[in-house]
Structure 1
Amino acid sequence: MTSQSTETNPGPHASPTHRLRLELDGRGTGAYDGFWWPHSRDLASELPGLLTTLVPRLGSIHRVIYHTDEWATAPRKLDFAGRQVRLDGYRHMAARTLEILGVSGAHLTLQVITPLAASDMTTAEQRWDSEGGAGRRSRGWTRGRTAAY
C-alpha cells in the first residue's frame, strides 16, 4: 500500500492542522482510503476543513455519510464552497467511518479516530510507560499495538 499524506499522521507533538492521512492503494483493496482525526464531535464544524483538503482529489463534494451515534446532532445540509453538501447519518453504518462522495462519482472512505479514542490511546500509552512497559502486560496493552476503534 502506498501512502500519500495530504497532512501527516497526528502524534503527541503534531500541529492541530495535521489531521488527515490518506493511504491509497492503487489496486483499491483496502477497506479505508485514509484516516481522519477530528478535534471534536461537532461534524458541522469539523467538515469544512476536511472537505477543503479533499476537493483537489474529489472535485465538488455533494454528500457525506456518517454514523449518527458518533457525532453531535448535525444539520441535513452544509453550505460549502458555494453549494450544499448533503449530510446523511445512519445508525447501521460501520462505526467510526465517514464516506465522502464527489459530484463526479469519486469517493473516499475514511476511518475516523474520534477525540475520545485518541484520548484513550494516549492514556493507555502513558499507563504503559509508567508501569515499566514490557515488564507489565497484565492489563492487555502491548507496545506497537493500537487500541481497537
Structure 2
Amino acid sequence: MTTSPSTTSSSSTGADTAPGSSARGPLRLALRAPARGTPLDGAWHPRSRDLAVEVADLVDHFPVSAGRVGRLLFSRPDWDSEPGERSLRRITAARGAVKVGSFPRDDTHLMIVKLSPDHALRLLVVPSELDEDTARRIMDRAVADDNTLGADELLAAERPGS
C-alpha cells in the first residue's frame, strides 16, 4: 500500500481528534507496503515535538487498512523533554492507551510502529520544523519503490551542501 503524504487524511473535528489537537489538519503520513530489504516502510511529519500529542494523533488517525497501533518505539532526540525527566511509557489516545518506549541513546529519526506481535512498520520521523515542501519531498523518497536510504541518510540528502 502506498499512501501519498498529501492525500492521507484524518478528521480534525469531533471524537476522532486527539486530545489537545483541535483543528490539526490531516495526518501527514506516507506508507508503502512493507518489503524485505528496504530500510523504511513509510514517513511521518508530526506538527510539533510534543510526543504525547503527536503520538495520540498518529494512533487515532492511523489508516485502518494498515492495522491497529499496539505499541511504539521512538528516538528520544526527536521529541522535547525536560532534562532528567523519565521517558513516557504509555500515551492515551481516543482509541485507547498505547505503550511506548524509546531507543537508548539513538538519533536515527526512526519510529517503530508495532501493529501486531509479528508485524511492525519502520517510519522516518521528519522533523516538525521542516517546511511542507521539503517534508513532502523527503516523505515521497522514503516510500519510493527504489529507496535504499535510511532515515538519517534521507534527511542528510536534503540539508544544504549535501
Question: Normalization by structure 2: what TM-score?
Answer: 0.58
The change in CA–CA distance for 1:94 and 1:9 in structure 2 (over 3 A counts) is: farther
CA distance in 2, matches of 1:51, 1:58: 10
Contact in 1 for aligned 2:109/2:126 (Cα 8 Å): yes
The change in CA–CA distance for 1:65 and 1:110 in structure 2 (over 3 A counts) is: same
Amino acid at match of 1:22: L
Give how far 1:45 is off. Answer: 0.2
Which ranges in structure 2 are unaligned for 5 or more consecutive residues? 9-23, 82-86, 135-156
Is 2:42 the counterpart of 1:34? Answer: yes
| Percentage identity across paired residues of the two chains | 20
Aligned twin of 2:6: 8
Question: Normalization by structure 1: what TM-score?
Answer: 0.62
- Within-5 A mapping of 1:117-136: 118-119=130-131
Give how far 1:22 is off. Answer: 1.1
2:54 aligned counterpart, secondary structure: helix
Contact in 1 for aligned 2:78/2:107 (Cα 8 Å): no
Task: Name whichever structure is richer in strand by fraction.
Answer: 1
The higher-RCO structure (CA 8 Å, 6+ apart) is 2
Q: Which structure is larger by alpha-carbon Rg, 1 or 2?
A: 1
Aligned residues: 116
The change in CA–CA distance for 1:104 and 1:23 in structure 2 (over 3 A counts) is: same
CA distance in 2, matches of 1:5, 1:97: 18
Q: Over aligned residue pairs, what C-alpha RMSD do you find?
A: 3.0
Amino acid at match of 2:54: E
Aligned twin of 1:17: 26
Is 2:58 the counterpart of 1:58? Answer: no
CA distance in 1, matches of 2:63, 2:7: 19
CA distance in 2, matches of 1:29, 1:54: 24
Give how far 1:8 is off. Answer: 2.1
Aligned twin of 1:43: 51
